Amino acid sequence: MVTRSVENIEFWGNDLALDFANTTEGPDKDHLRTYADLVTWARRAGALPQGARPGHGDLERARALRAAIFDVFTTGGSLRTLLDFYADAVRAGTIDDGAFAWKGRHPDRPLWPIAVAAVDLLRSDRLARVKQCDNCPWLFVDASRNGSRRWCSMDECGVHVKMRRYRASRRG
């Protein structure tokens, strides 16, 4: 098993906002240890263009957005916090060559596309398909035909759950 880091963490959420929420696996496994980790993850996820150079930022703001996203999609809480980030993102945007974009070196720049993605997901027909893995805290959009997906990844959590069941049945 490979140890996860911002350089190799999987994008199993099927949505930018959920993938961002999945950068933690509980209080002891936070993959965003520094602001540089946030920038690296945002580039990998496509939230920050490769050439963009945000200023040095406050990782606590990123963690607050991440917690709000997790709370909104698991319990319906923290909507105000998410909407505040969303409003900041919209205010900071501009129309460039007919497309909405962000420019400059603002430290929250990596967070803006994430906040917009979260609100877009809330407003979409995919909201009913947002689930939490049966084996870990990760969130994902269930894109299966019948909506019966239970794990963030069959290769990771699904295999572990099935293996535990198999071993328990062999013992019993």
Q: Residue 124 is part of a domain; what is its CATH number?
A: 1.10.3300.10
The total domain count for the chain is: 1
Q: Work out the percent of the chain whose per-residue pLDDT is above 70.
A: 91
Residue 75 lies in a domain: yes
Residue 11 lies in a domain: no
Residue 55 belongs to domain spanning: 16-171
Which amino acid is residue 19, in one-letter code? Answer: D
Q: Give the pair of three-digit tokens for residue 84.
A: 């505040």
Specify the pLDDT at position 156: 78
- Cβ–Cβ under 8 Å, residues 13 and 45: no
Residue 103 lies in a domain: yes
- pLDDT tens digits along 1-14: 568 889 999 999 99
Residue 1 lies in a domain: no
Residue 2 lies in a domain: no
- pLDDT tens digits along 76-120: 987 999 999 999 999 999 998 999 999 889 999 999 999 999 999
Selected residue with higher pLDDT from 70 and 2: 70
Residue 43 lies in a domain: yes
Distance CA 128, CA 123 (A): 10
Which amino acid is residue 27, in one-letter code? Answer: P
- pLDDT tens digits along 41-69: 999 999 998 888 888 888 999 999 999 99
- Positive or negative torsion for Cα 117, 120, 122, 127: negative
Which amino acid is residue 47, in one-letter code? Answer: A
Q: What is the pTM assigned to this prediction? A: 0.90
Residue 4 lies in a domain: no
Residue 6 lies in a domain: no
